[in-house]
Structure 1
Amino acid sequence: MAKNVYSYDEIMAEHDYAQPHEVMGKLLHGGFDAEGNYISPRMLHRGPAVAQWASNLEARGGKLIDASQKLLKRDNYPNHAQQKFLLQHGLGKTLWDSLTLTGIIEGRGKVFSDVVGPDFQEFFVEDISELAVGHLNKGLHHAHGRDEGGMDNSDIGAHDEMWFVVRDLLFGKDAYAIPTAPEEIGRPEMGRLFPQISKTLEEFLLIYMNILMVEVRAEKMFSFCCELFRDPEMFTDRRDIAEQAAQMVERIR
């Protein structure tokens, strides 16, 4: 019988890695199996759990939300051709800034690890103990935040540090000044949008919607970076380093 209920410790559990994940002297989260395949952190049970919950949803006639890049119409700015032109003329600051800001914003996601949601069961008639929503306060919030910004009192880098490593692989450390990140990237406060439901539930639904759009924008950034780094006309004097940077992006992905 398929397992649908997990404890906090199971959600947070790691694989027994054969090799640590270390790049440029920086220890990063996740690790490698005996065949050299990268394994993301906290996926020993979380990965199978999410896959099973998704399968159960579809078996009940539900549909997964299409969280692909199709939700965004606009291309990256600068786009591939523009960024390529800039880099080929020695103007790397736009890409440096983009990679740096992505890392800074990823790091802010760590605050989500401390979010304690309401008792979501109060908002449902059906039992949610075997659903993903029933595990938001049982590790899913915490795991997501730690993916973004790392564990407390740990030198192991998370997604934020991984973006900085990608940047430093391509440009070297301290190639340009660190840009100032925007204070907010989410939607501005608009007051109550769904007064028919609990204010607390509405607040969390809006948080999840903002996270969804952040992740969709991130997926666009992942694709942009991998295509740019793997363009054979780019970084011609260090193609191996550019490929390593692309692989790093895929590990974040």
Structure 2
Amino acid sequence: MAHLWTEKRVVISSDAETLAHDVAERLLVRLIRRSSVGKVSHLALTGGGIGTEVLRAAGSHPRRAEVDWSTVHLWWGDERFLAPDDEDRNDLAARRALIDHIDIPAQNVHAMATVDEAPDMDAAAAAYAAELARYGDDEHDWPAFYLCFLGVGPDGHIASLFPDRAEIQITDRSVVPVRDAPKPPASRITLTRPVLNSARCVWLVVSGVDKASALGLALAGASYETVPAAGAKGRRRTMFFVDQDAATNVPLELIDQEF
């Protein structure tokens, strides 16, 4: 049997707004504690509606000023290969929601290349892999992530790892291009499963009744090939933060409101 700290646990908030605030507050408390003793925290961010709302809640929270942001590095689990000012870019949403409201050094913000910065998706993926490797160690060609945020699609996808596609199976690269993605925009870049799962903590943030089925399958141990969210697992903790609408199929024994 898995140890408690590696099991999937669920925290339920009443609605999407409360969910975003609750997750943002938990994030800031941990960053304040870590940065106060000089610990470096590498975070992998997610896009999407609820992911951006978490960042917005953190960006407007009064305790954001207590974090020593020079100790924090921001990365992205995936990105849309688009122009830098395209509204579908995850990093653009993150800048507006959080980054523009905190005192973080520019060199600590590691965005994936735009179409203006790389000739194609292969080059963009290779460039991001090289950037990750700059912060790697003897074990991995990527940073020791403290926390990886993930959203979950109605189909169970995480980052840009979609069900029954080759990208979910890749383990020999840290970053790969995703062409003809089933969800627009079709051209994307994503971290692979080994990188996402190497994080000390994986926090999946799930909102909406349309996510209830995928959440239930992920918690029930479905195949990660068909439900990628089922394969998300942090080295120490795997937490699902969900609102009441998404919690329909959550087993009672997995609920952990004390976290």
The TM-score by the shorter chain falls in which range? under 0.3
TM-score, length of structure 1 as denominator length: 0.22
Higher strand content, 1 or 2: 2
**Structure exhibiting the larger radius of gyration computed from Cα positions:** 1
Higher helix content, 1 or 2: 1
Q: Which structure ranks higher in relative contact order (CA pairs < 8 Å, sequence separation ≥ 6)?
A: 2
